[in-house]
Amino acid sequence: MVPVREPPAEASSPDVRAAHLLRISGYLDIAIMSMWSASSRACRLIGMAEASVRGAGPGGADEELLRLLRRLLREAAERHAAGDYPAAMARMRVAQDMTDLRIVQIKKGLA
């Protein structure tokens, strides 16, 4: 059994938060590219992007953003499954733009 401990204080450092959001942005980018190319794997890649926002972020400072991303990605998956590709793509792009803007804010010391 692995003992559960509090994460170290540096777990919420700006670099760790930015790295976490960069990982999410990467999954969003891959899913968006698959949607542009009309790949048969797009639904799986959207699911991978959804999975990347499950759980808490480092230090909990970005929870509001993660909640919004979860909602946007769930809606994107539903729209994609219903064949409404423009609406699904719009939600994915908004999610990625919000993620990337937060990374910039973190690195500039604004968030």
Taking phi first (over 0 means left), then psi (-120 to 50 degrees means alpha), and beta for anything else, what does residue 5 get? Answer: beta
So what's the pLDDT on residue 93?
A: 97
What is the distance between the alpha carbons of residues 108 and 42, in angstroms, rounded to a whole number?
A: 33
pTM: 0.84
Q: What residue segments make up the domains of the chain, in order of their start?
A: 13-107
- Say if CB 22 and CB 30 are below 8 A apart: no
The overall average pLDDT reported for the chain is 90
Domain range 13-107, CATH class: mainly alpha
4-45 pLDDT, tens digit per residue, is 565 555 557 999 999 999 999 999 999 999 999 988 899 999
Residue 81's pLDDT band (cuts 50, 70, 90): very high
